[in-house]
Chain A
Amino acid sequence: MSRIKEAFTGKKAFIPFITCGDGGLANTIDIVKAAVENGADLVELGIPFSDPTAEGPVIQAANIRALATGVTTDKIFDMVVELRKSVSVPLVFMTYANVVFSYGIEKFVGKCHEVGIDGLILPDVPFEEKEEFASVCDKYDIDLISLIAPTSHERIAMIAKEAKGFIYIVSSLGVTGVRNEINTDIASMVKLIRANTNTPCAVGFGISTPEQAAKMRELSDGVIVGSAIVRQVAEYGNDAAGHIGEYVKSMVG
């Protein structure tokens, strides 16, 4: 069993997202540790990209802040080595196709394996384009995570059947960011997913409150929270770890 699937075994997973290098890489390490100590089951690490087309304003700004500190893919690999000395929950990278492609897919995924990354999320690589990345990920036992959106409809079966690690259910139309309400029929999406695979599924996009998290946890196998955490990094900077630890505790349920 992949380490990712283990994170969902016998429990609902809470998955925080953090942009690497926002406030410096030492800050990222502190935040990840605080999140894990307070109950995070898996952590999504964003490698910043200059033009993150799937992100709303909060994570866009985090990408710009992080890049401005001079963070690079290589420095982030080094940070993961450091993190792995004390953090054992699964870690997945979230970034854009060009970051991986320009590094060299084989070199990037090989390095993920070497430093202890468990999975990879590429929001601009849909099912039709995944082979170029998935074939290499399979070779190195890295799970290439599939996304399913409110518009996926009849594509759900096809995507679910080949899904690895966990399935990322995009809760709403549009880009990442906090939403007051999530109106998508998540239950129907989960039903279709479960009819086609045993791979667990977690819901992300727009979740910020413990109430929303509880509702999504009930409907699926886990909850992903990004913008609500990243905006605390913007607000508290290098003091963010403590605040985010408390926040994670309130969200874990």
Chain B
Amino acid sequence: MSRGRFGIHGGQYIPETLMNAVIELEEAYNRFKADEGFNAELKKLLNEYAGRPSLLYYAEKMTKDLEGPKIYLKREDLNHTGSHKINNVLGQALLAKKMGKTRLIAETGAGQHGVATATAAALMDMDCVIFMGEEDTKRQALNVYRMRLLGAEVIPVKSGTATLKDAVSEAMREWTNRIDDTHYCLGSVMGPHPFPTIVRDFQSVISKEIKEQMYEAEGTLPDAVIACVGGGSNAIGTFYNFIEDKSVRLIGCEAAGRGIDTFETAATINTGKLGIFHGMKSYFCQDKYGQIAPVYSISAGLDYPGIGPEHADLHDTGRAEYVAITDDEAVQAFEYLSRVEGIIPAIESAHAVAYIMKHAKDFSKDQKVVITISGRGDKDCAQIARYRGENIYE
């Protein structure tokens, strides 16, 4: 019987070699998520090491300037390692440690998940190997250095398009090669069950905090929560505790790249179709014969041809909306937030900021929206400068 379904999506489409590994992981996760000691240990790490809870900041200048709803920013960029990725990584690394694993492997796109995994491995005395598309090692050279500094080995992946999807494929191949001592610390709400559930649970702290912080600030629920979506981990973290609150709009911002009417796009919901890849049934950018498309986005972290199965289901049921944001719009938002609020967002997160810049007027002034700033933008400065024709290198 197939496990881990979200509507028709999800499942476990992986080689037989890995089946016992994911079954063992699911059993361990179910045991530890109910374990008080485990939860106390994780909470301590999140609060004292990663710096949670993250701030919910009222962006007053932006609110006034855009003349739309009251805008709050959920500051995941202020977490240790500079993004939301640490929430999931600390949970999985602790779980892996309890399972007796001594080695973490992971894929990374922009490098945020790789840096977070390398950090947790350093903290918990585990070996660490990060797979990163060769193209991305060039786009994000500084993050490669950070991972090495933290003691991880970084393997540039040359196969396929040499980006995030190929890094995932290579990490999966490595896991089939070495299972006994190794945990695959998957970075998004994707892959075979139980990963989409585990990662979602560890990221759901984002919406749990938003809810509490909004009640404190405004005494009410937000009218909309907005996040960028690649695989979709910060978005599902932002949405999860609001799914049952039907008055809250859930808005995911995909990377349109150069536009959804071009081939240079990574907008899965807007341009993909139902398929089976990387362990899951979901929507994928692909051709007529099911060959996975070489997707493109300025953002290495959103440059992925699929989307997590729970998002695919939230799309099917109409509970969440998925919109496409182009490179140009994201770069404008990157610059806008920097100048107006003094906050440099990751280029990934800038896709979510761009949504409110485009649609502020669709909201009334007494409405409140929360945008998750999933990561900080220091890593992107050189690339955005080059995008604007200024030839600087790190």
Q: How far is the CA of A173 from the CA of B19 in the complex (A)?
A: 12
Interface: A101 (CB within 8 A) = yes
The residue that B291 contacts in the complex, of A56, A67, A128, A150, with Cβ under 8 A, is A67
Whether B286 pairs with A170 at a CB distance below 8 angstroms is no
A151 in contact with B21 (CB, 8 Å): yes
Chain A 50-76 interface 0/1 with B at a Cβ cutoff of 8 Å (1 = within)? 110110110010001001000011100
- Cross-chain contact B276 with A128 (CB below 8 angstroms): no
Q: Are A128 and B17 in contact (CB under 8 A)?
A: no
Residue A135 CB within 8 A of the other chain: no
Q: A50-B292, A147-B15 are in contact. Are A102 and B286 (CB under 8 A)?
A: yes
* Cβ–Cβ contact A123 & B15, under 8 A: yes
Q: How far is the CA of A125 from the CA of B192 in the complex (A)?
A: 11
Q: Please encode chain B, from 2 to 14, with 1 for each CB lying within 8 Å of some chain A CB and 0 for all others.
A: 1100000001111
Q: Shortest distance in angstroms between B10's beta carbon and chain A's nearest beta carbon?
A: 10
Q: Does B291 contact A153, Cβ atoms closer than 8 Å?
A: no
Is B16 within 8 A of A148, CB to CB? yes
Q: Is the CB of B160 within 8 A of A99?
A: no
Bound Cα distance from A210 to B176, whole angstroms = 26
Whole-angstrom distance between the alpha carbons of A202 and B278 in the complex? 27
Q: Give B281 Cβ to nearest chain A Cβ, in Å.
A: 8
| Shortest Cβ distance from residue A188 to the other chain B in the assembled complex, whole angstroms | 16
Q: Is there contact, CB below 8 Å, between A50 and B291? A: yes
CB pair B159 A126 closer than 8 Å: no
Residues of B within 8 A of A115 (CB): none
The answer on a CB contact under 8 Å between A60 and B159 is yes
The answer on a CB contact under 8 Å between B290 and A151 is no
On whether A149 and B2 interact (CB within 8 A), knowing A50-B291, A102-B289, the answer reads: no
Contact yes or no, A153 B20, CB < 8 A: yes
B177 and A174 contacting across the interface, CB-CB below 8 Å = yes
Contact call A149/B15, Cβ cutoff below 8 A: yes
**A97 and B13 within 8 A (CB):** yes
Distance in angstroms between the alpha carbons of A74 and B287 in the assembled complex:
14
Contacts of A54 in B (CB 8 A): 15, 173, 176
Query: For window 142-169 of chain A, which residues contact chain B by CB distance below 8 Å?
Result: 147-153, 155, 159
Inter-chain contact A51/B165, CB cutoff 8 Å: yes
Q: Specify which chain A residues have a CB less than 8 angstroms from the CB of B177 in the assembled complex.
A: 173-175
- B292 & A125 in contact (Cβ 8 Å cutoff): no
A14 within 8 A of B: no
- Taken together as a complex, chains A and B put the C-alpha atoms of A159 and B19 apart, in Å, by 12
B169 touches A (CB below 8 Å): yes
Please, how many angstroms separate the alpha-carbon atoms of A53 and B13 in the complex? 11
Q: A140 at the A/B interface (Cβ < 8 Å)?
A: no
The distance from the CB of B280 to the nearest CB of chain A, in whole angstroms, is 10
Are A51 and B277 in contact (CB-based, < 8 A)? yes
User: What's the nearest-Cβ distance from chain B to residue A124, in Å?
Assistant: 5
| Most-contacted residue by chain A among B18, B169, B172, B277 (CB, 10 A) | B277
CB distance from A55 to the nearest CB of B (A): 8
* Distance between Cα atoms of A99 and B277 in the complex (Å): 10
Contact B19 A151 (CB under 8 A): yes
A50, A64, A149: residue with the most chain B Cβ atoms closer than 10 Å: A50
B210 → chain A closest CB, angstroms: 35
User: In whole angstroms, how far apart are the Cα atoms of A197 and B179 in the complex?
Assistant: 28
Please name all residues of chain B whose beta carbon is closer than 8 Å to the beta carbon of A151 when the two chains form the complex. Answer: 16-21, 179
**A198 interface residue, CB < 8 Å from B?**
no
Task: Report yes or no: A103 in contact with B2, Cβ–Cβ below 8 A.
Answer: no
**A98 close to B15 (CB less than 8 A):** no
Contact residues on A (Cβ < 8 Å of other chain), bracket: 35 or more
The reply on A8 being an interface residue by CB < 8 A is no
Min CB–CB distance B285 → chain A (angstroms): 11
In the bound complex, do residue B276 and residue A98 qualify as a contact, i.e. CB atoms below 8 Å apart? yes
CB <8 Å contact, B15 and A173: no
Docked complex Cα distance between A97 and B274 (Å): 12
Among A53, A98, A152, point to the contact of B19 (Cβ < 8 A).
Answer: A152
Pairwise interchain contact B19-A155, C-beta atoms closer than 8 A: yes
Chain A 162-187 near chain B by CB (<8 Å), digits 1 or 0: 00000000100111000000000000
Contact of B31 with A by CB under 8 A: no
B386 within 8 A of A: no
Interface string of B157-172 (1 = CB under 8 A from A): 0011000011001001
Please measure, in the bound complex, the distance between the C-alpha atom of A129 and the C-alpha atom of B193, giving whole angstroms: 12
Across the interface, which residues of A come within 8 angstroms of B20, CB to CB? Answer: 151-153, 155
For window 238-262 of chain B, which residues contact chain A by CB distance below 8 Å?
A: none
Q: Is B1 an interface residue (CB 8 A)?
A: yes
Contact of B1 among A53, A100, A128 (CB under 8 A): A128
Contacting residues of chain B (136-176) with chain A, CB-CB under 8 angstroms: 159-160, 165-166, 169, 172-173, 176
> Which residues on A sit within 8 Å (CB–CB) of B16?
123, 126-127, 147-149, 151-152, 155, 159, 170
30 contacts between A and B (CB under 8 A): A49-B291, A50-B291, A51-B160, A51-B165, A53-B15, A53-B173, A54-B176, A73-B290, A97-B276, A97-B277, A98-B292, A101-B274, A101-B275, A102-B273, A102-B290, A127-B16, A128-B1, A128-B11, A129-B2, A129-B11, A131-B2, A149-B17, A151-B16, A151-B17, A153-B20, A170-B15, A173-B179, A174-B176, A174-B177, A175-B177
| 5 further A-B pairs in the complex, CB-CB below 8 A; given A51-B292, A98-B292 | A124-B276, A129-B12, A151-B16, A151-B17, A170-B17
B residues within 8 Å of A by Cβ? 1-3, 11-21, 159-160, 165-166, 169, 172-173, 176-179, 273-279, 284, 286, 288-292
A contacts, CB < 8 Å to B: 49-51, 53-54, 56-57, 60, 64, 67, 72-74, 96-103, 123-129, 131, 147-153, 155, 159, 170, 173-175
Q: Top 8 closest A-B pairs, CB basis? A: A102-B290, A174-B177, A149-B17, A97-B276, A98-B290, A50-B291, A149-B16, A147-B16
